[in-house]
């Protein structure tokens, strides 16, 4: 009986440490993502319609860092 309890305790400690490790990894990833900065100039253009971004809501593509108007992005999603 005692060995079974010790084994269960070891499993719980392992799972607790794994959860803590996963939390630290996800927090580190979040910090990396939120530390990305980019500038929008008055001449910055939408990659879809080629109009200036201006004060419009926009989406930044994570792979290419190109900007799109939010509406242009929604149009593409609806067409698929």
The mean pLDDT value of the chain amounts to: 87
For the whole model, what pTM was predicted?
Answer: 0.51
From residue 71, alpha-carbon distances to 4, 15, 23, 31, 76 in Å are: 60, 44, 35, 28, 9
pLDDT band at 65 (very low <50, low <70, confident <90, very high): confident
**Cα gap 21→26, rounded to integer Å:** 9
Which of the pair, 78 or 12, is modelled with greater confidence?
12
Main-chain phi, psi angles of 52, to 5 degrees? -65, 145
pLDDT at 25 over 90: yes
Which pLDDT band holds residue 79 (cuts at 50, 70, 90)?
A: low
């Amino acid at each position: 009986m005692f060995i079974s309890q010790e084994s269960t305790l070891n499993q719980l400690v392992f799972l607790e440490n794994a959860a803590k490790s996963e939390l630290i990894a996800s927090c580190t990833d979040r910090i990396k993502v939120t530390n990305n900065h980019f500038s929008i100039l008055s001449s910055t253009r939408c990659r879809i319609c080629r109009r200036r971004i201006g004060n419009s809501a926009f989406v930044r593509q994570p792979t290419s860092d190109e900007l799109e108007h939010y509406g242009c992005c929604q149009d593409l999603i609806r067409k698929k």
